[in-house]
Structure 1
Amino acid sequence: MSILVPLLLTLLVRSGCHTATLLHTSIFLKESIRLLDELLEAKVPCDKMNVTNVFAGDKQDNDLETLCKATTVTWEGRSCHRHLEGIHLNLLSLLRRKSRVYKAPCPVPGGSTTSLGDFLLDLRRALHRLVKGQSLK
């Protein structure tokens, strides 16, 4: 009976940490979506700029790898609009919380490109999907 109380306390603390981590993840994702919405509404002149299309291809990347690559693209385009720096920082924070494997800047292979505007739309869709599933693994 005496071991039951510490065990229950440990389980309670761990579940609280998991809930806090999910809450932080959700906040970073939602804030990034809000910034993307504002950026897409602003119609910045550099939205036609070519960037690497990290969402193209055979979709073998996991969510964290894709976010890591998106972090690199947002860093490279940050001079376009101040919101891109905020999005970059949010994605970087998510990576640091969720992965010890992926460290930004992630290498982004050359090849397929897209406009910055289309990249931002794809990123917003990906973040919406992650918010719904909370599946950053």
Structure 2
Amino acid sequence: MVQVQVLLTFLMLSACLGDVVTPRVHALRTNMLKESIRLLDQLQQMEVSCNKMNVTNIFEDYKRGNNMETLCKAATIAQEGQSCHRYLEGVYHNLLSLVWGRRARHKPCPVAAGSTTSLKNFLKELHQVLQEEYKSSK
């Protein structure tokens, strides 16, 4: 009987802690999405020569609903473009945090060679994906 009471107490405490942590994690995720969208807005306003730089088109076969893998691959491309745009460093770190959370694995996903697109088009597509992710997180 004592074991059942201890187990019930543990389960109740676990449930309570989950309620406290979940809103904080959700708010952090929402803030990262908003910040990334803001940075991408600024990046898209800038005209620089490396906007024409070719990057792998990870959005070519993009399927809605599998955003974590896409965001992880986008982090890889953002990392590659950091020398072009300093704001891409913030986007890169936000994408990794969105994908890996507090585990913050520091390696983005590998991106297989394939068709390419301009960095400018990549940023536009990423902006749209992040906006969709933000809308669905509300």
Distance 1:99 1:59, change over 3 A: farther
Pick the structure with greater CA Rg: 2
| Matching of residues 1-137 of structure 1 within 5 Å | 9-57=13-61, 59=63, 62-97=66-101, 104-134=107-137
For 2:103 and 2:124, how far apart are their aligned partners in 1? 24
What is the CA deviation profile of residues 76-117 of structure 1, one whole-angstrom value per residue up to 9, with x for unaligned ones? Answer: 1110010011100111111221889x8732111111110000
For 2:37 and 2:17, how far apart are their aligned partners in 1? 30
Alignment check: 8 A CA contact 1:95 1:103 kept: no
Distance 1:26 1:109, change over 3 A: same
Stretch moving more, 71-80 or 15-24: 15-24
Alignment check: 8 A CA contact 2:56 2:77 kept: yes
Alignment check: 8 A CA contact 1:50 1:113 kept: yes
Stretch moving more, 87-96 or 125-134: 87-96
For 1:99 and 1:89, how far apart are their aligned partners in 2? 13
For 2:65 and 2:34, how far apart are their aligned partners in 1? 22
The one-letter amino acid paired with 1:43 is E
Q: TM-score, normalised by structure 1?
A: 0.84
Distance 1:60 1:40, change over 3 A: closer
- RMSD between aligned residues: 2.8
Report the CA distance between 1:43 and its aligned residue: 1.8
The one-letter amino acid paired with 2:107 is A
For 1:53 and 1:134, how far apart are their aligned partners in 2? 25
Q: Any gaps of 5 or more consecutive residues in structure 2?
A: 1-6
For 1:61 and 1:22, how far apart are their aligned partners in 2? 18
For 1:97 and 1:61, how far apart are their aligned partners in 2? 18
Stretch moving more, 43-52 or 112-121: 43-52
